[in-house]
Amino acid sequence: MKTTRQQKKTDLIRLNKFIAECGIASRRKADELISEGRVTVNGKKVLELGVKINPEKDKVKVDGELIRWEKKVYYLLNKPKGVITSTKDEKERTTVTELIKTKQKIFPVGRLDYNTTGVLLLTNDGDFANFLTHPRNKIEREYLVTLDKPLEKEDREKLLRGIVIGGKRGKFVSINFVNKKSPKRVKVITVEGRNHFVKNMFSALGYTVKNLERSRFGKFTLSGIKRGEYKKLDVKEIQNIMNKYKGNKR
């Protein structure tokens, strides 16, 4: 498809990616559909691989059926206490998606416990969510933790070396005291995404987490966002951050 004057190059995506993001087929399978002449764009059959389209303007059909694309959106929420990290709740408690005003159907990236606060990303981009949460990518999570008693030096070392919880070894990347005068308050960094991971790590050594806040997830922080509020992230901002992560992995 030729690019019109109104279509900026940054608006265009590959046809196979568009088909995949609509949930019709994988990119490889989408290429097969194109090669077999089963895909049309604006009423014209497309046989050439690598064609780019404008997902917001071009009409794509597979086997004569129009497929719809939803613009990708990204939100950064400063999650408050007493809110469920889910898209719905059987007990009819408030969910994090109810705090975001958007027409798109979004979902949380990972989860935070009911009374855990802080950084939570919400989106409708499955590739983005999978990249951030997949264990092989080792995306850092930073937490501010308030314990029921001072953290002992010996236990701090154990948590850094690693302990077994839930039949699997886990450890913190770093543990630092927020304030030397308050040894109950610590900042921990981990690349683990298991449910209740921080609480279970401390619990295994006899500590109770009284308060937990995620202050950072990868490069996303709460800067300028009050508790219970959120901001919409720019697509270019997301792309830049993702490119940096991918560059660091080389």
* Domains in the chain, number: 3
Buried/exposed code over 90-118 (b: 16+ C-beta within 10 A; e: otherwise): eeeeebbbebbeeeeebbbbbbbbeebbb
Structure tokens given for 95: 């969910």
Q: How would residue 5 be classed by pLDDT, with cut points 50, 70 and 90?
A: very low
* 54 and 168, same domain (yes or no): no
Is residue 37 over pLDDT 70?
yes
* 151 and 199, same domain (yes or no): yes
**Count of other CB atoms within 10 angstroms of residue 247:** 8
pLDDT at residue 82 in the model: 96
pLDDT at residue 249 in the model: 62
Average pLDDT of the residues of the chain: 91
User: 41 has which bridge partners?
Assistant: 44, 60
* Angstrom distance (rounded) from CA 54 to CA 1: 9
**Domain presence at residue 176:** yes
Structure tokens given for 27: 């990119």
**Domain presence at residue 1:** no
Q: Could you give phi then psi for residue 63, rounded to 5 degrees?
A: 55, 35
Q: How would residue 248 be classed by pLDDT, with cut points 50, 70 and 90?
A: low
pLDDT at residue 163 in the model: 97
**Domain presence at residue 4:** no
* 171 and 202, same domain (yes or no): yes
**pLDDT tens profile 95-124:** 999 999 998 889 999 999 999 999 999 998
Q: Which domain holds residue 36?
A: 10-67
Is residue 144 over pLDDT 70?
yes
**Domain presence at residue 45:** yes
pLDDT at residue 6 in the model: 45
* 213 and 248, same domain (yes or no): no
DSSP 212: E
Better pLDDT: 12 or 117: 117
191, 173 Cβ separation under 8 angstroms: yes
User: 53 has which bridge partners?
Assistant: 13
* 93 and 201, same domain (yes or no): no
Q: Which of 11, 58, 89, 113 is catalytic?
A: 113
* 113 is known as an active-site residue: yes
Choose among 57, 61, 66: nearest CA to 11.
Answer: 57
**Domain presence at residue 132:** yes
The CATH code of the domain that includes 15 is 3.10.290.10
**Domain presence at residue 17:** yes
Mean per-residue pLDDT for 222-226? Answer: 94
DSSP 45: E
Is residue 7 over pLDDT 50?
no
What letter represents residue 40's amino acid? T
Mean per-residue pLDDT for 157-184? Answer: 94
